Amino acid sequence: MEYVNELLSTQVWQGQTLGDFLTVEFLASILGSVLAAITIVFLGWIIAAWLGRRVRRIGEATAHLDDTLFNFLGSLVRYTVLGFTGMIVLNTFGVQTTSVVAAVGAAGLAIGLALQGTLSNVAAGVMLILFRPLKIGDFVDVAGKMGTVKDVTLNFTELADVGNVQVIIPNSEVWGNVIVNYSSYPTRRADWTFGVGYGVNLKAAEDVIRETVLADERTHADPKPFVQVNNLGDSSVDFLVRAWCDSSEYFQFQADIKRKVKEALDDAGVDIPFPTRTIVQAAD
C-alpha cells in the first residue's frame, strides 16, 4: 500500500508518468484481445470447415444415403460452429452476448415479417431435404409439373420435364402439394385394355394376349400377369391386362406391349373392331 501511495504521489515509475503506464497497459490489453480473437476466428474457421466436410463425406461414402441431405447438414454444422465462434470473439472483447442475441432476434423477427414468402420457401426446403419425399434423379409429378428432379435447394426445386426443359418450382408449392414420385418403388404395374370382336373365340384371344405379354423379358413372373374379360362394350369384348415391370422400363414397356399385342392378334386372325357409323338417307 505504501508503494502504491508513493507511486500515486510522485506519478513516476521508472521514468514514466502514471498516465503513460496506464496507456501502455490498455494498449497491451487491447492487443492481447485482438490476438486472441484472431486465433479464435482462425481455429473456428478451420474446425467449421473440417466438420462440414466430414458430414458431407458421410453421404458421399454411402451409396444409399442422399447427398442433398448431407450437403445441407454439412452447411448447417459449419455455420453453427461459425456462429458460436463469433459469440466467443465478442466475449473476448467484453461484449455482453445476451444483448446481442436479443438484438439479432428482434432483427430476425422484422426480416421474417418482411420476407414471409421467401422464408416459407426456405422452411419448405428444409422439410424436403430432411424428409426426402423426392431426391435427385427421381421422376415426379408435383404442382402440375412432371419431370426428373435435377436439384433441391433451400429455395426451389429444379425439374427437367419430358422435353428436357428446365422447370423451377418454389419449395412452398412442392411441399404444399401432392407429390407423385414414380421412382420411389423399384417396380410398377402397367395396365392395358384390348378389345376383340364379339364373334372371336375368347379363350384363344386370351391365350394370344397372355403369351405375348409373358414373352417380353421385361415382364415380371411374380406377380403373374392378369388377363381377363372386363367389359362388354358396344362393339367389342374388352380384356383388362395387367403386368409388372421395373419402374425404369415402365413407359417403353407399356408402349411396346401395345404394339406387340396388336401384331399378335392380327397374326392369329383375331378381329379387332373399331367404331363405325352408318348413315341412312331418308326417302323423299
Task: Please tell me the pTM assigned to this model.
Answer: 0.60
Q: Quick one: which H or E segment has residue 16?
A: none
Q: Provide the residue range defining the domain that includes 14.
A: 2-114
164, pLDDT greater than 50: yes
CB neighbour burial string for 221-257, b if at least 16 within 10 angstroms, e if fewer = eeeebbbeeeeeeeebbebebebbbebebbeebeeeb
pLDDT, greater one: 147 or 39: 147
Beta bridge partners of 229: 239
**Dist CA 250 CA 192 (whole Å):** 13
216, pLDDT greater than 80: yes
Residue 10: the pLDDT is 47
Does residue 258 fall inside a structural domain? yes
Contacts of residue 122, Cβ cutoff 8 Å, sequence gap at least 6: 154, 155, 171
Residues 23, 97, single domain; the answer is yes
CATH number of the domain at 229, please: 3.30.70.100
Q: How confident is the model at residue 175 (pLDDT cuts 50, 70, 90)?
A: very high
Residues 94, 193, single domain; the answer is no
What average pLDDT score do residues 59-68 get? Answer: 64
Residue 25: the pLDDT is 65
**Where does a domain end: 181, 196, 221?**
181
Work out how many domains the chain is built from and give that number: 3
Does residue 148 fall inside a structural domain? yes
Residue 283: the pLDDT is 62
Q: What percentage of the chain carries pLDDT values higher than 90?
A: 42
pLDDT, greater one: 4 or 98: 98
Residues 175, 106, single domain; the answer is no
Beta bridge partners of 266: none
**Dist CA 264 CA 215 (whole Å):** 11
CATH number of the domain at 170, please: 2.30.30.60
Does residue 253 fall inside a structural domain? yes
Does residue 123 fall inside a structural domain? no
Residue 14: the pLDDT is 47
**Dist CA 139 CA 161 (whole Å):** 9
**Dist CA 135 CA 128 (whole Å):** 9
pLDDT, greater one: 83 or 18: 83
Q: What is the largest CA-CA distance in the chain?
A: 142
Residues 139, 166, single domain; the answer is yes
